[in-house]
């Protein structure tokens, strides 16, 4: 799903593109609660999917993330996004996983922190609003027997439209004023002298021909 928006869109348009539902193949499920041969399917996304959404909508130079590791292994993520030229920062805390390796635990905390901070910009927030669903589950193999399904209403035409805008162009720096060089002034004076042109006539010509080059001046009678 193309979620990017055009330059000139309002912040609300940009936030709508950030919050647009992900493609179904980007959404994964894990068992949250297991009861016999049934399990409650919990939807989630990878941190890379969040990064792709930020890149697609804002551009790679319009968002940045910072992290601070806390006692106990949790990680604070500060996610800053430049929206219509203004930097806005949101923060949240990621929790370590239950994996045995400390490095994997910390890596999971970084990913979780980014995802949680991104939710405050609307990225993936729809996942928290999905209805609970119990799905056939094989406790021996620890996997779903049938694939959990996303509600059709999630991809209604109204919501889908949010993801069909064009890409944001990173804000450009204000154009710098152009100055006339000494060489150009010399050439201009030479032409004025050759044409015996009074200063006032030149000023009248310049005011009506802004942006024209010296060649046009040379063609004056």
Task: State the average pLDDT for the chain.
Answer: 79
Choice between 84 and 92, residue whose per-residue pLDDT is larger? 92
- pLDDT tens for 30-63 read 998 899 899 999 999 999 999 999 999 999 999 9
pLDDT at 85: 86
Give the contacts of 65 (CB within 8 A, at least 6 positions apart).
77, 78, 79, 80, 114, 117
pLDDT at 212 over 60: no
Choice between 8 and 14, residue whose per-residue pLDDT is larger? 14
Choice between 45 and 211, residue whose per-residue pLDDT is larger? 45
Q: Is the dihedral of CA 125, 25, 45, 127 positive or negative?
A: positive
pLDDT at 84: 86
b/e per residue 132-169 (b: at least 16 CB within 10 A): eeebebeeeeeebeeebebeeebbeeeeeebbebebbe
Please report the beta strands in 95-196, taking only residues with DSSP state E, as ranges in sequence order: 134-138, 143-144
Output the pTM of the full model: 0.65
> Percentage of residues in the chain with pLDDT exceeding 90?
43
pLDDT at 14 over 80: yes
Structural contact between residues 135 and 145, judged by C-beta atoms closer than 8 angstroms:
yes
- pLDDT tens for 146-204 read 889 888 877 765 444 444 433 333 444 445 545 556 666 666 777 777 777 776 676 66
- Lowest-confidence segment of 96-100, 109-113, 134-138, 161-165 by average pLDDT: 161-165
pLDDT at 80: 97
């Amino acid at each position: 799903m193309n979620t990017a928006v055009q330059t000139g869109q309002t912040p609300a348009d940009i936030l709508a593109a950030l919050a647009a539902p992900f493609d179904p193949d980007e959404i994964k499920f894990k068992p949250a609660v297991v009861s016999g041969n049934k399990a409650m399917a919990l939807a989630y996304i990878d941190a890379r999917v969040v990064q792709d959404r930020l890149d697609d909508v804002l551009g790679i130079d319009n968002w940045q993330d910072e992290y601070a590791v806390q006692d106990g292994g949790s990680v604070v993520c500060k996610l800053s996004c430049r929206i219509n030229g203004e930097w806005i920062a949101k923060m949240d805390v990621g929790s370590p996983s239950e994996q045995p390796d400390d490095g994997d635990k910390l890596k999971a905390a970084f990913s979780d922190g980014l995802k949680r901070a991104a939710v405050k910009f609307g990225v993936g927030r729809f996942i928290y609003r999905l209805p609970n669903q119990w799905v056939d589950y094989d406790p021996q193999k620890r996997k779903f027997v049938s694939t959990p399904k996303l509600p059709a209403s999630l991809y209604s035409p109204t919501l889908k439209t949010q993801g069909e805008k064009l890409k944001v162009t990173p804000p450009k720096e204000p154009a710098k004023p152009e100055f006339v060089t000494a060489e150009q002034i010399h050439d201009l004076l030479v032409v004025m002298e050759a044409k015996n042109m009074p200063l006032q006539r030149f000023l009248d010509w310049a005011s009506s021909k802004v942006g024209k080059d010296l060649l046009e001046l040379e063609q004056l009678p």
